[in-house]
Amino acid sequence: MGREKSIYNALVDIVGEDFVSNEPEDLYLYSRDGGTTKPRGVDYVVVPKTVEEVQQIVILANREKVPITPMGGGLTLNGLVIPVHGGIVIDMKRMDRIIEVNESSRYVVLEAGVSQGALLSYLRKNHPDLQHSMPEAPSIATVVGNILIRGHGSLSQCGDNSNMLNGMEIVLPTGEICQVGSCSASPHWFGKGPLPDLAGLFIGWFGTTGIVTKASLRLYPRPEKRDMVLFVTQNPDLIPELVYKLTQTRIADNIGMMEQEKPEYMKGYQFTGVIISGDSEEEMDYKRKVLDKIPQTCGDGENKVTLLGEIPPSSKERFLEEPPFAAVAADFRKGGGFQYCAIMMPIEKVPEAWRRGIEIAHNNGMLFQCANQVMSAGHEVMFGYNYSFNRADEEDAERARKAMQETNKLGLELGGIPWKADLQAQKEIVEKMDPNTRELMKKVKKLLDPNGIMNPGNWED
Amino acid sequence: MALKDYQDMVHRCFRCGYCKFTSDYSYVGFNCPIYNKFRLESYSPGGMMWLIYASLVKEEIKPSKHLSEILYSCTMCRNCSQECKFQFNEDIVNVLKAAREEMVDKQLMPPMVGQFLKNVYDYGNPYRELKENRDNWAENTEIKHYEKGDEFLYYVGCVGSYDTASQKAARALGSVLKKSGLSFGILGSREICDGNEVDMLGETGLFEFLKEENTRIFKEIGVKKIVTLSPHSYNALKNSYSNEFEVFHYTQLLRDLIKSNKLDLSGGFEAKVTYHDPCFLGRYNNEYDAPREILAAIPGVELIEMERTKENSFCCGGGCGNFYTDILGGGEDTPSRFRIREAHDTGANIIAVACPVCVMMLEDALKAEGLENELAIKDISEIVNEALL
Amino acid sequence: MDIYSSLANIVGEDFVSNQEEELYLYSRDSGAQLPRRADYVVAPKTVEEVQQIVKFANKEKIPITPMGGGLTLSGLAVPIKGGIVLDMKRMDRIIEVNEKSRYALLEAGVTQGALHSHLEKNYPHLEHSMPDAPPMATIVGNIVIQGHGHLSVSCGVNSQMVNGMEVVLPTGEVCKLGSSSISPYWFTRDPLPDLMGLFIGWLGTTGIITKISLQLLPKPKFRDLLTFTSGDVDLLPDFIFDITQLNLMDNLFVISQEWPPWAQGILYVPIVSAQDEEEFKLKIKLHKELLRKYEGKITLVEGKHAEKMRTARLPVPPVTLGVMAADAKQGGGFEYTGGIVPIEKVPEASTRSVEIAHKYGQPYLLGYQLLTGGHSMMCGLAYCLNRADGEDVEKVRKAIDETNKMILDVGGVLWKAEAPAQSLMVQRMDPNTVKLMKRVMKALDPNAIMNPGNWSD
């Protein structure tokens, strides 16, 4: 029996025939994502149901020295779960149990395949007073995937989602199952500390250090009322001051900014949206009142911040919906390709990032479109440069790819860091990195994954 | 329309996955029956869109048997078209249908699909049953053949005509219509398949033939109004046939008869009932109220909705000929077994349905779940029939 | 050259000592742990000096114990296996404050008090989350032990507010973590492989932090507290759920003490703040309205007791009743078990710790602090001791040991646990997790020179 066949058979023995495939049609899909990343080969896809199955797959992969790439929703658009060196993709979405919700200590324990949509539904139904910080991503995105790429959500004022992690169960690259956080020493999954922080070993590593099979995520009060207040500026130089003033009030759930050149009437305006919430009209009123005063405190005679009095209910809904469906704009090119380049940056770098982003878009014959997010209580900005493209037109995809690369370079030049960086950007980050930090990173990878089977090719130089 | 007509659209799918959920996140889990069962990306609307693009438009990968298994696993329940947030949402099922046409052209259909189509071609039904036995179910009833001047043609469809469980519904509806005093008749052995599944399976030529043949018969005997037992027939006759016939699903007709006091339901029906929306009545034709209004009018019926209901209803897994080809069959995760468990969770003792395909699928699943003693499947026609004085 | 001279060569003679007087102090803290001998104490000024000390210690295989304020009360900076104590407090530069992206970059020896003053003076609109500890506690020390502060409920615990670090690894390399590893700005921990976890919660066994970037937060113009009292500890989980559901507090203390008598029962002390008066009044009102639901079972405390609470708990940092009570025996000693437990387990932990206190002839003295927006609770179960009375110290040690076990029994985890309590946790820990922990320690510190004896089983 050839090696390929024997690996296939071994996988069938582990998960059953229905949940493993090496057929070209199935592999086709796992070889690419919705972004501009060029397809890369996959040899097998497996869909395990239990942690023991994952463990056996990992042991098999070690024995056969086959790479493994764990996958959640597969929606990073940056090819993070498209294997670089082939091998097995483990689609985690069949591990979809929501195991426990603790109301008093506000957390949920769930398996790695649970989608954002499933958790949203579950909470609405069983714990309507609670919510999780829901990312602005399609609902099929997994909760764990979002944590591991350090994504943010509707409550990013409480920090990004990896900050809301209480603990995890992990299959190490060498096959051991272990728990991190309070659950490692207690039956309860209520906190990450006060123990040696092992969770960090698996956050931001893009699957190179192990496979997370369970996680405990913090939940938050769900207010009865939500609303959005919108500010408009015509000069990005005003943004850092506006954001500072807004965050100083401490009343926003979430703050986002955007600009788009189409439709024409929006061109040249920066929109800053503030989501507020409360349990009573009284509370909402005072929050609105506080925000009403903001324009007086920002800008000068020439450059002003304006409060947009009337927001069409439809656009309000678009942002207030949970999850928000701002991504509908992605189809404006009618091309089924959407890519954005997200750069984390200090807030004071936003004006320059804005201007130079417009240059990059125009130089590549594209329209400028950005959607940005203020992180935690005003500590950084995720600057999202959107590049829609036509998936059927390779030239167009190439243009988007080029714009992406230029944007990543710009981000790094400004002192920012690309978020969920693609391979090219990862390389640039690693090159720029403090050499001793780079060595430490390698040491950790080597320590955990001596055979280099875990999503290899990522975070390498 | 053929696949080439969708060439500018197929690649537009982002595979963002909204199509796998219910509209309002009222249900924890997936509402796409095939993804829910298979769990590989290929068995999902987005996966199919991408594979259709790769194999049939761009020809990056060769159309194969496995592609065909994937494409034919779908029951076309239309949840995806309903939930997709993009402008092209309506076209998702249309593209799949067009892709299946290509598979038929290339003779790559799964064997059971080929068999289904061949049987319909040869026998006018998928079961290889003789045409002359088509009205055996009506023996010893007062249901007569359609005669000129009858107000309604009662179109039964293949499943109601031949499947034992569904024949009960066919008889019950006949009996109800009789008691209402309406003038109607059936086609008997002249009835042939309406072609709804044939169309969905991509055999356009055969569908055209069935359409023409049925239309010819209807016209020949002077049919103006048609009432169908099956939502599948209703969908085909109403939306794909010429609009010279007025087509009703029987729940619509019964609802009107009840409203105009033509049916005396005071016999009542004491039961906790949950109602399963058939895809071809609900999502395809937006009829969610008629069956519920009927149930509400029956004394003793306590209607308890399932978690997934109306536009969020979960397909029984029988659509697109699956009731015969059984591509989704086997195991605990088949849609019909999921649905039975969901119905059981409501505490109801009756699952009311309004579709012979659903009756058949759910009956089988009920046995597989071993819940026959706690739950029973009944077509609404049967419930009405029992309640009539 | 002997060890002393080598160290003196690195930091200068003034900042190294092996004299009995210094060693006496560095061999103990004010908790109930028995003294453990330090051989040298060194107070470096620069990262290069720290680096040279580490390299030297590797060569000589001498243990190193880095020390901040030394105020854990559980002897975490008292060496278990002797060697060098590295007193970091001379590295006390506040290097940068970025106002727009709200962070402060500082050296590891900067104290809570120093940062507080610096911000008051230069950035009056900003503050940092200040722990309920003496101002001599260092920022870095507090982060490394995963401490919390006066903004924990609204903004999270302090280890969540780290944007970046500079670390001297146990093998002597200096490296930067977080955005600073690739950018001139210390603005984020995202979106890189998280290496900072390797140094948080490890109690100095994995490296020495020399710089840190800490998130700063908007400082409110109005601040006040409310005092509620309740006789029924079992109401606590529900009440905490309701009050956190409001989502309007900065912090919440829960206190229960045998002395003074008015502090018996359960006192809830939410801290509320706002930027303007109307907002402030509304918040106070909404909190008071909550009591309606509890119909006399939880009531508002007003008058002189409320005033007393205001004096003790409103300042940042608070003059804790704990500190005042710590002197109850006039014995200069104080120790507590910090148990972090799920909120629904607090009533059980409370009841049982009162029993333990009484068993050892101690008045109960419980001070709790809610962590993050209602996700767990730090239960401080405290015992005062008379340092001059060996028997008393022994009794408290036993009480602490019993309390530790009780916390673990109710499913809690011990915060900044002393070495024996660390072992209690390690023994209960998932064995694969323990193995992973050891692998990490071994990989980073092959010669096991970093605060050895901690996190062992």
Q: What CATH number corresponds to the domain at position B287?
A: 3.40.50.10700
Does C346 lie in the same domain as C279? yes
Q: What rounded mean pLDDT belongs to chain C?
A: 93
Q: How far is it, in rounded angstroms, from Cα A373 to Cα B16?
A: 21
Contact call for B and C: 3+ CB–CB distances under 8 Å = no
Are B96 and B137 in a shared domain?
A: no
Residues of chain A falling short of pLDDT 70: 324-330
Strands C126-127 and A88-91: unpaired
Report the CATH number at residue C202. Answer: 3.30.465.10
**What is the domain class of A225-420 according to CATH?**
alpha beta
Last residue of a domain, one of B199, B222, B256: B256
> Which residues in chain B are contacts of A29 at CB distance < 8 A?
40-42, 47, 50-51
Pure H helices in B249-355: 250-259, 289-297, 322-325, 335-345
Contacts of A120 in chain B (CB under 8 A): 25
Is residue B152 located within the same domain as residue B216? yes
The answer to whether residue B31 is domain-embedded is: yes
Q: Does the interface ipTM go beyond 0.90? A: yes
| CB of B181 closer than 8 Å to CB of B214 | no
| C138 & C276 share domain | no
* pLDDT score at A193: 79
| Token reading at B326 | 């059984």
- Whether chain A has a CB inside 8 Å of the CB on B182: the answer is no
Calculate how close chain B gets to A391, using CA atoms only, in Å. 6
Distances (CA, A) of C240 to A107, A135, A217, B272, C269: 15, 27, 19, 41, 11
Instruction: Kindly state whether residues B275 and B152 are assigned to the same domain.
Output: no
Asked whether this chain's domains A94-221 and A225-420 adopt the same fold, the reply is no
Which pLDDT score is estimated for A319?
76
Which residues of chain C from 55 to 74 reach within 8 Å of chain A, CB to CB? none
Same domain, B212 and B182: yes
Q: Chain C: residue nearest A193 by CA? A: C146
Q: What is the pLDDT of residue C322?
A: 52
Burial of C61: CB neighbours in 10 Å, binned 0-12, 13-18, 19+: exposed
Q: How far is CA A383 from CA A221, A341, C161, in A?
A: 28, 8, 21
**pLDDT for the residue A198:** 96
Same domain, C329 and C346: yes
Our measurement of the distance from residue A116's CA atom to the centroid of its chain's CA atoms, rounded to an integer in Å, reads: 12
First to last CA, chain A: 37
Beta strands B350-353 and B271-275, pairing class: parallel
Which residue type occupies B382? Answer: E
Question: What residues of chain A lie within 8 A of the CB of B12, using their CB?
Answer: 331, 334-336, 391
**Which structure tokens are listed for A93?**
């979405």
pLDDT digits (tens, 9 = 90+) for B94-128: 999 999 999 999 999 999 999 999 999 999 999 99
The structure tokens listed for A358 are 């417009």
Residue B114 in any domain: the answer is no
**Are C258 and C365 spatial neighbours (Cβ–Cβ below 8 Å)?**
yes
Q: B198, B229, B256: which is the final residue of a domain?
A: B256
- Pick from C79, C127, C112: nearest CA to C419: C79
Q: Does residue C56 share a domain with residue C173?
A: no
Other C-beta atoms closer than 10 Å to the C-beta of C388 total 12
B70 CB within 8 Å of a chain A CB: yes
> What is the residue range of C316's domain?
222-417
Query: Are B24 and B65 in the same domain?
Result: yes
Chain B residue at shortest CA distance from A115: B29
- Residue spans of the domains in chain A: they are 3-92, 94-221, 225-420
| Residue A450 burial (CB count, 10 A) | 11
Containing C223, the helix (H) or strand (E) segment is: strand C222-225
Report if residue B58 sits inside a domain. Answer: yes
- Ranges of residues in chain B with a pLDDT under 70 are none
Among partner residues A104, A249, A443, which is closest to C237 by beta-carbon distance?
A104
Say if residue C329's pLDDT is above 70.
Answer: no
- How large is the average pLDDT for residues C262-289? 93
- pLDDT score for C294: 95
Average pLDDT, chain B: 95
Does the residue B306 lie in any domain?
yes
Q: Give the angle subtended at the CA of A141 by the CAs of A138 and A144, to the nearest 5°.
A: 150
- Say yes or no: C282 and C158 in one domain: no
pLDDT tens track for C77-89: 999 999 999 999 9
The total number of structural domains that make up chain B: 3
Judgement on whether residues B14 and B98 belong to the same structural domain of the protein: yes
Q: What counts of helices (H) and strands (E) characterise chain C?
A: 14, 20
CATH code linked to domain A3-92: 3.30.43.10
Task: Determine the Cα angle at B37 with ends B33 and B43, to 5°.
Answer: 75
Judgement on whether residues B250 and B181 belong to the same structural domain of the protein: yes
B102 and B168 inside one domain: no
Chain B CB contacts of A35 under 8 Å are none
Q: Is residue C83 located within the same domain as residue C122?
A: no
Assigned domain for B116 exists: no
Give the model's pLDDT for residue A336. Answer: 79
Closest chain B C-alpha to A7 CA, distance in angstroms: 19
The alpha-carbon radius of gyration of chain B (Å, integer) is 20
B306 plus B340 within the same structural domain? yes
Question: And the tokens for A423?
Answer: 């391979």
Which residue, among B333, C172, C402, C13, has the nearest Cα to A16 in the 3D structure?
Answer: B333
Note the pLDDT of residue C326.
54
Domain that holds residue B322: 265-387
Which segments of A65-211 does DSSP mark as H helices, in order? 116-126, 143-148
For residue range C355-411, list pLDDT tens digits in order. Answer: 999 999 888 889 999 998 899 999 998 888 787 888 888 888 899 999 999 999 999
**Chain C: nearest CA to A33, how far in angstroms?**
21
Q: Are residues C285 and C383 in the same domain?
A: yes
Both C213 and C262 in one domain: the answer is no
Residue C156 in domain? yes
**Does residue B224 form part of some domain?**
yes
The pLDDT of residue A325 is 63
Closest CA to A271 of A209, A316, A207: A316
B41 close contact with A: CB closer than 8 A: yes
Quote the CA–CA distance of A440 and C178 in Å, as a whole number. Answer: 13
| B235 shares its domain with B206 | yes
Assigned token pair, C268: 């809830």
Q: With an 8 Å Cβ cutoff, are C193 and A416 in contact?
A: no
**Helical spans, DSSP H, in A293-349:** 294-297, 313-320
Gap from B268 CA to chain A (nearest CA, Å): 34
Domain check: are B88 and B154 in the same one?
A: no
Cα–Cα distance for residue pair A231/A242, rounded to 1 Å: 9
C325 — pLDDT class (breaks 50, 70, 90): low
* B293 and B377 both lie in a single domain: yes
Q: Which residues contact B313 (CB under 8 A, 6 or more apart)?
A: B276, B277, B279, B282, B283, B306
Which stretches does DSSP call E strand in chain B?
152-155, 184-185, 225-228, 246-249, 271-275, 301-303, 350-353, 376-379
Whether residue C147 is found in the same domain as residue C196? yes
**pLDDT at residue C332 tops 80:** no
Among C96, C372, C378, C436, most A C-beta atoms within 10 A, so best to mutate, is: C436
Chain A CB within 8 Å of residue C197 CB: yes
Domain count of chain C?
3
| Residue B12 identity (one-letter amino acid) | R
Tell me the DSSP string of C366-432: EEEEEETTTTEEEEEEEEEEETT-HHHHHHHHHHHHHHHHHHHHTT-EEET--HHHHHHHHHHS-HH
Out of 3.30.465.10, 3.40.800.20, 1.10.10.10, 3.30.565.10, select the CATH number for domain A94-221.
3.30.465.10
State which of C195, C218, C241 marks the end of a domain: C218
Given this model, what pLDDT does residue A93 score?
97
pLDDT of residue A459: 96
CA distances for B125 relative to B77, B160, B188, B280, C331, angstroms: 22, 11, 13, 19, 97
Q: Tell me, what's the pLDDT at C362?
A: 85
Would the CB atoms of C190 and A194 count as touching at under 8 Å?
no
Verify that C178 and C127 share a domain, yes or no: yes
Residues C125 and C233 in one domain: no
Element spanning A28, H or E: helix A24-30
Q: Is C237 on the interface with A (CB under 8 A)?
A: yes
CATH number at residue C350: 3.40.462.10
